[in-house]
Amino acid sequence: MDTYALQMKGIVKEFPGVKALDNVTFSVKKGEIHALCGENGAGKSTLMKILSGVYPHGTYDGQIIINGQNVQFKSIKESQEAGVGIIYQELALVGEMSVAENLFLGHELMRKRVINWNEIYVEAQKWLDHIGLTIDPQTKVADLTVGKQQLVEIAKALTKKTNILILDEPTAALTESDVEILINLLQDLRSQGVTCIYISHKLGEVMSLADSVTILRDGQTISTNAIEELSEDKIVTKMVGRELTELFPYEEHVISKETILEVKDYTAYDEQGNKVIDQVSFLLKKGEILGFSGLMGAGRSELFISLFGGLKGKKEGTVIIDGKETNIQKPADAIKEGLAYVSEDRKRYGLVLGMDITKNTTLAALNKVVKLNIIDQALEVRSATDITEKMKLKAPSLEAKVGQLSGGNQQKVVLSKWLLNNPKILVLDEPTRGIDVGAKYEIYKIINELVQQGVGIVIISSELPEVLGMSDRVLVMAEGKISGEFLREEATQEKIMTCATGGKKNEYSTSNS
């Protein structure tokens, strides 16, 4: 087993002004799952783009050896022909086409220059069986869950006779149960001899799945180790190059007796009239961090988007903010009531990527810098400067377009935008998704500061360690209902997962006030 499927030696890649990769060495043994870890900007994606031919031979220095043979890819197609398949974080499937059509897109099975659909469906079924996905190959991809789409992507790569499979953050958008299916599949593929390169920020998965780990930092290879020699802490230390005292800087704080948000018997429907939220009741105190856990599709995001006035369907129930009953119909109402919702998909729902930082920051609070219906631009820049400084935003200038910022800094812009409204209640939906360790830590610090100031905070997160690490209290949702509630001291991953998967309902432990 000691032969290498892939060796990349002395890889140097320069962009104008930046050395993205500096003499990187990366060796992957045949048939192993090899994790590639590093902070955002460490060079992981660049390295994979070189391997998959996105950056053609000649635009970088160094040597790539696949199965003992020197290769020089000039295009993505050449790398595919050599058996390298890459699956990006953003899936590359055509939603309006069927699974079978997607599987063979670009290399359709032909008979006399005409597509042979029967053969495609039969072949597609074989591949789906092969990866253990029980769906009809004629299903439209858009109708599948993200988790299943991911599996279809893998099947698609396999149809191209891929023997080195690269997965870039494959579980970022998956639920815990889908993650498990994916992990099982990868283990199956390993036993069949497929080599897999696994890029992930989720170190728990890396520890349970990978055989070895290579860590990149600032464009250089820091180390390659067998998994037995590592721990999560060791990986983090190597990634950031410094000792992080703790992953979740939870600070003891005083939770006020005052309730800032009370939701009673809240039921919401989508536009088609399906019930998405079912009789939900909960309380949030001033200065409390309330975690919301649950599987994807459990209705956590929908609950808060609906409370925020962003869902179109009918809704019933009572929402009391700061002792006053409210009637929120649209986001503008919610903003007036002191509610802020930081979406899980910042690029889609949080930011106008083509606008600069200043304008994004003031978008939801323009009335604060407007006099007589005219924007006071000096005041606007002043406000944006102050708030982004507080967030420790790193940007070339406030005139920079947000689209050019890293994920962590984009998230800080979204936070700045909502904090400019001085919200009483801040809902953070997956606040650290796709963000590197350093920026995560800073965002947790900001959460701590806000809670000290008496803001009521809701954290919706699919990452259990995050929910457990940051919350004073955890609510679990399943199928639109609240299925469990735990205080910080009593919450464990197992208990939460049991409730989230619809297991036994736990006793409610808070008293109504």
By CB under 8 A, the count of residues binding another protein is 41
Structure tokens at 392: 């420790």
Quick check: helix, strand or coil at residue 303? helix
137 binds another protein (CB under 8 A): no
Nearest-angstrom CA–CA distance, 239 and 203? 11
Contact (Cβ atoms closer than 8 angstroms) between residue 338 and residue 321: yes
Among residues 160, 180, 341, the alpha carbon closest in space to that of 261 is found at 341
341 binds another protein (CB under 8 A): yes
Shortest separation between residue 304's beta carbon and another protein, angstroms: 11
Shortest separation between residue 310's beta carbon and another protein, angstroms: 6
Structure tokens at 476: 């679990």
Shortest separation between residue 277's beta carbon and another protein, angstroms: 18
Shortest separation between residue 39's beta carbon and another protein, angstroms: 22
Residue from the set 377, 422, 492, 510 that interacts with another protein by CB under 8 A: 377
Contact (Cβ atoms closer than 8 angstroms) between residue 443 and residue 451: no
Shortest separation between residue 276's beta carbon and another protein, angstroms: 17
Nearest-angstrom CA–CA distance, 504 and 487? 17
Shortest separation between residue 334's beta carbon and another protein, angstroms: 7
Residue from the set 226, 254, 352, 487 that interacts with another protein by CB under 8 A: 352
Residue from the set 71, 131, 381, 497 that interacts with another protein by CB under 8 A: 381
Say which amino acid occupies 166: I
Residue from the set 186, 334, 457, 476 that interacts with another protein by CB under 8 A: 334
Shortest separation between residue 49's beta carbon and another protein, angstroms: 17
Please tell me the total number of residues recorded for the chain in this structure. 513
Q: How many CB atoms lie within 10 A of CB 401?
A: 16
Contact (Cβ atoms closer than 8 angstroms) between residue 398 and residue 381: yes
Q: Which residues of 16-38 are buried (b: 16+ CB within 10 A; e: fewer)?
A: eeeebbeebebbbbbbbbbbbbb
Q: Give 149 or 388: the residue with its C-beta nearer to another protein.
A: 388
Nearest-angstrom CA–CA distance, 470 and 131? 37
- Among the residue ranges 16-24, 121-129, 138-146, 368-376, the one whose residues contact another protein (CB under 8 A): 368-376
Q: Give 160 or 390: the residue with its C-beta nearer to another protein.
A: 390
Contact (Cβ atoms closer than 8 angstroms) between residue 153 and residue 185: no
Q: Give 186 or 303: the residue with its C-beta nearer to another protein.
A: 303
Tell me how far apart the terminal alpha carbons of the chain are, to the nearest angstrom.
Answer: 64
Nearest-angstrom CA–CA distance, 509 and 456? 19
348 binds another protein (CB under 8 A): yes
Q: Give 310 or 438: the residue with its C-beta nearer to another protein.
A: 310
For the segment 300-319, give every residue that binds another protein (CB under 8 A). Answer: 308, 310
431 binds another protein (CB under 8 A): no
370 binds another protein (CB under 8 A): yes
226 binds another protein (CB under 8 A): no
Shortest separation between residue 335's beta carbon and another protein, angstroms: 4
Q: Give 91 or 363: the residue with its C-beta nearer to another protein.
A: 363
Shortest separation between residue 455's beta carbon and another protein, angstroms: 19
Say which amino acid occupies 114: V
126 binds another protein (CB under 8 A): no
Shortest separation between residue 436's beta carbon and another protein, angstroms: 22
Helix 407-419 and helix 377-390, axial crossing angle in degrees, nearest 10 = 120
Nearest-angstrom CA–CA distance, 78 and 82? 6
- Among the residue ranges 271-279, 388-396, 439-447, 470-478, the one whose residues contact another protein (CB under 8 A): 388-396
Quick check: helix, strand or coil at residue 36? strand
- Among the residue ranges 108-116, 258-266, 381-389, 429-437, the one whose residues contact another protein (CB under 8 A): 381-389
Q: How far is CA 511 from CA 110, 405, 491, 495, in A?
A: 67, 44, 17, 20
Shortest separation between residue 1's beta carbon and another protein, angstroms: 45
366 binds another protein (CB under 8 A): yes
Say which amino acid occupies 257: K
- Among the residue ranges 32-40, 43-51, 342-350, 489-497, the one whose residues contact another protein (CB under 8 A): 342-350
Shortest separation between residue 321's beta carbon and another protein, angstroms: 16
Q: How far is CA 61 from CA 24, 25, 55, 72, 496, in A?
A: 10, 12, 11, 11, 49
Among residues 490, 499, 436, the alpha carbon closest in space to that of 45 is found at 436
Residue from the set 373, 453, 512, 513 that interacts with another protein by CB under 8 A: 373
Residue carrying structure tokens 């929910």: 467
355 binds another protein (CB under 8 A): yes
Residue carrying structure tokens 């900007």: 41
For another protein, what does the binding mask look like between residues 391 and 430, x meaning CB under 8 A? ----xxxxxx----------------x-------------
- Among the residue ranges 184-192, 234-242, 369-377, 438-446, the one whose residues contact another protein (CB under 8 A): 369-377
Residue carrying structure tokens 């390659």: 224
Shortest separation between residue 367's beta carbon and another protein, angstroms: 8
54 binds another protein (CB under 8 A): no
CA 360 from chain centre, in angstroms, equals 22
Residue 258 phi, psi dihedral angles, 5° rounding? -70, 135
**What pairing do the DSSP bridges indicate for beta strands 289-294 and 473-478?**
parallel
Q: Give 244 or 381: the residue with its C-beta nearer to another protein.
A: 381
Binding residues (CB under 8 A) for another protein: these are: 308, 310, 330-332, 334-335, 341, 343, 348-355, 359, 363-364, 366-367, 370, 373-379, 381-382, 385, 389, 395-400, 417
